[in-house]
Amino acid sequence: MRIGIMGTGGVGGYFGGLLAKAGHEVTFIARGEHLKAIRSHGLKVESVNFVSFLIQPARATDNPADVGEVDLVLFVVKTYDTDSAAQLMRPMVGSQTTILPLQNGVESVQKLSRYFPKENLIGGMTQALVSIAAPGVIKHEAQYKRIVCGELNGRETPRLKMICEALKQAGADAEMTNDIEKTLWTKLLHIAPLGGMACATRSTVGALRSDAEAFAMLRRAMAEVEAVARAKGVAMDADVVDKATAFVNSLGPGSMPSILRDVLAGKRSEYDALSGSVVRAGRETNTATPLHEFFWTCLKVVDSQSK
């Protein structure tokens, strides 16, 4: 397949690297020093638990018009760059192109459908602890390398099978789902409450777990997400909050949500795609979300002062 990676950060660099290594014609859309390094020295993927590798030469550009129409776009920019990136990548999208967003939150398809027909879009979710370690270098730091894909209508289509199979053969833990909305909301229930609590307290996971009242508040924030999802008609598991709690308990005490890392570094964060999406859905369904209203409002002020 001809594949465009729209946003060569940790997620795009890692999964795009796997696909390039597997023999697909992959072009990485990047910028700045990261782009220069990829062009000069290739894209290096360092993995703690799996094989490290180098893609050299690597196709890379900052102009999607140089690429032309592709079969698949992995849309992996930060959520706050969605609108600008969607307009920029138009030259890569034809009538037969599939766009697979692998972003945080639950609003990616809704936002992308402003620019492209829904027939071009499928839903996607990823779990992978990856980051840019240095220009041209992607670091994969955990066992997770999961991607879940699903058609918006829940059907199992030939293109969905083809994309999942390509990802599997490349080394990703890829799977199909007939309910991508449930998958996305379940992930949001994990990451939005934890990110909001961590940012509000400037605390690691271990610190949050050690305070009974804080941990109880975290569970209430999870319950808010569950209530909103159910109000929207999403078939959440009955024990979804307990499962999310077990996940938090499985994390190392020094673990820190990526949103807190961004806030502490003075960078822009994805607060609006996390608690913001909960607040918007709550208002839409007349469901109370007081904790996420608090997280979202506070982080909006913090974000306005970011670099």
Q: pLDDT, tens digit, for every residue of 169-220? A: 999 999 999 999 999 999 999 999 999 999 999 999 999 999 999 999 999 9
- For residue 298, the one-letter residue type is C
- For residue 121, the one-letter residue type is L
Mark which of 143, 177, 211 sits at the end of a domain: 177
Number of domains the chain contains: 2
pTM: 0.95
Mark which of 140, 157, 177 sits at the end of a domain: 177
Question: Rounded to an integer, what distance in angstroms lies between the CA atom of residue 118 and that of residue 130?
Answer: 29
Residue 51 has what pLDDT?
A: 87
**Beta-ladder partners of 121:** 99
Alpha carbon of 305 to those of 44, 203, 260, 264: distances in Å?
A: 33, 20, 15, 12
Mark which of 152, 177, 202 sits at the end of a domain: 177
Domain with 88, as residue range(s), is 2-177
Residue 56 has what pLDDT?
A: 97
140 and 216 share one domain: no
